[in-house]
């Protein structure tokens, strides 16, 4: 699927500057012409051993690679830290894009998070190779160039560097290194939609929560190990038995866990299938071990697999409308380094094609009567109770499958509005909405807010996503 190129994006930016709110027909023409082209598949990537080989990298080596890459490709990368771990290790994020240091109007932000469990580092290494693949292929691979020209990709290779530091290569099971330096499972440390999570917030999870509150991420993947499956929300359910770890849950397969489905279940299944079907093995649904479950088509609802409280993917979705799934990409949690090349070959296409799904569905702007963007306007697709908000530029994105939809749009000081639109397979639908000032602010906004889920009404959206220049 192809999206608008930067020319179309610039045209939309001009609309904002001059206060006009009708899409130019030329912008549509450019977008549609680009969408009609057929891009070749991404090409195979061969690493430069002088820069990045298929080995595990400790935190110092990881930091050196990221800094060197940022220095070598200053027009494609931006390196920043969202905080520090308990033991003072930076939580590095690398932006890879043709506009790495600033948000370009109309260009969605997406992210990958690796190594949330310290003893599951395959994803950590895959993300380093993904960075290397992007920057080294930008000028020679049409698909990579398209993706980076139209998307800002944020990559957090390790969310739990302290846990990784005490993990042992070759250890396929067990919990050594899974937790952070205080013994907390970071994927049980987020606010939960279904049940109160009383676990004390940790610096690593607090940093991630602050990060995603400031950037309007559209799509996200969290990379794990210990199974081979793409798992989608919800991870929790209001009436299920909770397992403390995947290893514990594997011991209790005698009880039948029920799926806990989101209003966007069709989209989550589609996203999971995109990853699984582009993976070399995942979609076969083969069990890692005889005692572990097999997954039809290589995907599963999280709660149907095993329920958990405080998971990161549910938090992304409910609080911020970001479509995140969990990607279990290795049967062995910490396989020997000589197997990493095989894992890259298995996951390369999936990692790329998944991010491209950010350009499926509807995208557009919300304006006031003068044609100026409305920040933090709330949008909800009718029948899908989890909403999302516009950026400070009035932008919004929502991944949807082909069909007919209605959107409810409301903002403080404006009369709510309902708009109808159609999604097609070939390209995203461009939708602009103008809201009129309301004389009945209390009634209009109160009624609109009342239709939002309780948890969603607690959302805080700080959308200043401009990045500081890195220190020399």
Percent of residues, the chain, with pLDDT higher than 70:
80
| pLDDT (0 to 100) of residue 440 | 58
d(CA 436, CA 453): 25
Q: 214 in a domain, yes or no?
A: yes
Rounded to the nearest integer, the mean pLDDT of the chain is 85
Tokens representing 155 are: 């990559």
Q: Annotated catalytic, 328?
A: yes
Q: 20 in a domain, yes or no?
A: no
Q: b/e map of 222-252 (b: 16 or more CB within 10 Å)?
A: bbbbbbbbbbbbbbbbeebebbebbeebbee
Domain boundary among 313, 336, 359: 359
Same domain assignment for residues 67 and 190: yes
Residues 185-211: tens digit of each pLDDT: 999 999 999 999 999 999 999 999 999
Strands 378-381 and 388-389: antiparallel
| pLDDT (0 to 100) of residue 226 | 95
| pLDDT (0 to 100) of residue 412 | 94
| pLDDT (0 to 100) of residue 241 | 55
Residues 6+ apart with CB under 8 A from 105: 9, 12, 13, 16, 393, 395
* Location of structure tokens 């990060």: 211
Residues 389-432: tens digit of each pLDDT: 999 999 999 999 999 999 999 999 999 999 999 999 989 999 99
Q: The domain containing residue 440 runs over which residues? A: 362-458
Q: 255 in a domain, yes or no?
A: yes
Contact in structure between 95 and 384 (CB atoms under 8 Å): no
| pLDDT (0 to 100) of residue 461 | 32
Number of structural domains in the chain: 2
Which of 324, 328, 395, 456 is the catalytic position?
Answer: 328
Domain boundary among 359, 389, 411: 359
Q: 421 in a domain, yes or no?
A: yes
Question: What DSSP line would sit under 205-256, residue for residue?
Answer: HHHHHHHHHHS-EEEEEEEE-SEEEEEES-S--TTSPPPSSHHHHHTTTTS-
pLDDT range class, residue 268, cuts 50, 70, 90: very high
What's 92's domain CATH number? 3.40.630.10
| pLDDT (0 to 100) of residue 49 | 57
Percent of residues, the chain, with pLDDT higher than 90:
74
Same domain assignment for residues 329 and 372: no
Q: 180 in a domain, yes or no?
A: yes
Contact in structure between 329 and 266 (CB atoms under 8 Å): no
Strands 362-367 and 378-381: unpaired
State whether residue 143 is helix, strand or coil.
helix
The helix (H) or strand (E) run that includes residue 117 is: none
Q: What average pLDDT score do residues 78-93 get?
A: 98
Evaluate the omega torsion of the peptide bond into residue 234 and state whether it is cis, within 30 degrees of 0.
yes
d(CA 21, CA 10): 14
236 versus 22: the higher-pLDDT residue is 236
Residues 32-64: tens digit of each pLDDT: 334 434 677 887 776 665 678 999 999 999 999
Residue 24 has pLDDT above 90, yes or no: no
> How many residues belong to the chain?
472
Same domain assignment for residues 374 and 405: yes
| pLDDT (0 to 100) of residue 242 | 53
Residue 437 has pLDDT above 70, yes or no: yes
Same domain assignment for residues 285 and 342: yes
Residue 272 has pLDDT above 70, yes or no: yes
Domain boundary among 359, 380, 410: 359
Q: 34 in a domain, yes or no?
A: no
Residue 106 has pLDDT above 70, yes or no: yes
2 versus 127: the higher-pLDDT residue is 127
pLDDT range class, residue 263, cuts 50, 70, 90: very high
Contact in structure between 191 and 310 (CB atoms under 8 Å): yes
| pLDDT (0 to 100) of residue 51 | 74
| pLDDT (0 to 100) of residue 46 | 67
| pLDDT (0 to 100) of residue 424 | 94
Least confident of 42-51, 121-130, 215-224, 279-288: 42-51
Same domain assignment for residues 305 and 341: yes
**CA-closest candidate to residue 267, choices 406, 422, 404, 400:** 400
What's 392's domain CATH number? 2.60.40.1120
| pLDDT (0 to 100) of residue 243 | 52
Q: 173 in a domain, yes or no?
A: yes
| pLDDT (0 to 100) of residue 257 | 75
Same domain assignment for residues 339 and 270: yes
Contact in structure between 274 and 357 (CB atoms under 8 Å): yes
d(CA 257, CA 192): 18
Same domain assignment for residues 65 and 103: yes
Distances in whole angstroms, Cα of residue 114 to Cα of each of 107, 124, 158, 222, 392? 23, 5, 5, 6, 28
State whether residue 61 is helix, strand or coil.
helix
Same domain assignment for residues 366 and 252: no
Same domain assignment for residues 65 and 211: yes
Residue 29 has pLDDT above 70, yes or no: no
Least confident of 196-200, 239-243, 356-360, 366-370: 239-243
The helix (H) or strand (E) run that includes residue 445 is: helix 441-450
DSSP single-letter state for residue 111: E
Angle, vertex CA 21, rays to CA 17 and CA 26, nearest 5: 85
């Amino acid at each position: 699927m192809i999206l608008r190129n930067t020319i179309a994006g610039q045209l939309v930016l001009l609309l904002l500057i001059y206060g006009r709110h009708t899409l130019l027909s030329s912008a549509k023409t450019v977008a549609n012409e680009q969408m009609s082209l057929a891009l070749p598949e991404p090409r195979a990537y061969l690493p430069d051993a002088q820069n990045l080989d298929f080995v595990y990298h400790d935190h110092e080596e990881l930091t050196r690679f990221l800094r060197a890459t940022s220095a070598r490709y200053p027009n494609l990368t931006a390196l920043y830290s969202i905080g520090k771990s308990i033991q003072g290790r930076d939580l590095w994020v690398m932006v890879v894009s043709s506009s790495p240091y600033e948000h370009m109007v109309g260009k969605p932000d997406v992210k990958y998070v690796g190594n949330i469990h310290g003893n599951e580092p395959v994803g950590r290494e895959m993300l380093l190779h993904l960075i290397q693949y992007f920057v080294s292929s930008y000028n020679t691979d049409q698909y990579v160039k398209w993706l980076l020209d139209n998307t800002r990709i944020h990559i957090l290779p390790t969310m739990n560097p302290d846990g990784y530091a005490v993990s042992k290569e070759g250890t396929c099971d067990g919990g050594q290194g899974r937790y952070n330096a205080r013994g907390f499972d970071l994927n049980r440390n987020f606010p939960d939609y279904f049940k109160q999570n009383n676990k004390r917030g940790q610096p690593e999870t607090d940093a991630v929560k602050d990060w995603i509150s400031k950037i309007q991420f559209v799509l996200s993947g969290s990379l794990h190990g210990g199974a081979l499956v793409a798992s989608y929300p919800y991870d929790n359910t209001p009436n299920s038995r909770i397992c403390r770890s995947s290893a514990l849950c594997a011991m209790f397969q005698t009880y039948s866990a029920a799926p806990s489905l989101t209003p966007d279940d069709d989209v989550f299944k589609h996203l999971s299938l995109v990853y699984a079907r582009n993976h070399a093995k995942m979609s076969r649904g083969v069990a890692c071990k005889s005692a572990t479950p097999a997954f039809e088509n290589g995907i599963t609802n999280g709660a149907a697999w095993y329920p958990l409280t405080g998971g990161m993917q549910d938090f992304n979705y409910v609080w911020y409308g970001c479509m995140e799934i969990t990607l279990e990409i290795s049967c062995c949690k910490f396989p020997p380094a000589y197997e990493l090349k095989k894992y890259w070959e298995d996951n390369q296409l999936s990692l790329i094609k998944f991010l491209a799904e950010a350009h499926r569905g509807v995208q557009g702007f919300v304006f006031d009567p003068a044609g100026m963007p409305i920040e933090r306007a709330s949008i909800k697709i009718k029948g899908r109770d989890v909403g999302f908000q516009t950026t400070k530029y009035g932008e919004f994105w929502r991944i949807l499958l082909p069909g007919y939809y209605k959107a409810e749009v409301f903002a403080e000081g404006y009369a709510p509005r309902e708009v109808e639109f159609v999604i097609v397979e070939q390209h995203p639908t461009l939708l602009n909405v103008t809201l009129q000032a309301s004389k009945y602010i209390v009634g209009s906004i109160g009624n609109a807010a009342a239709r939002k889920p309780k948890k969603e009404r607690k959302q805080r959206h700080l959308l200043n996503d401009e990045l500081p220049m890195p220190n020399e």
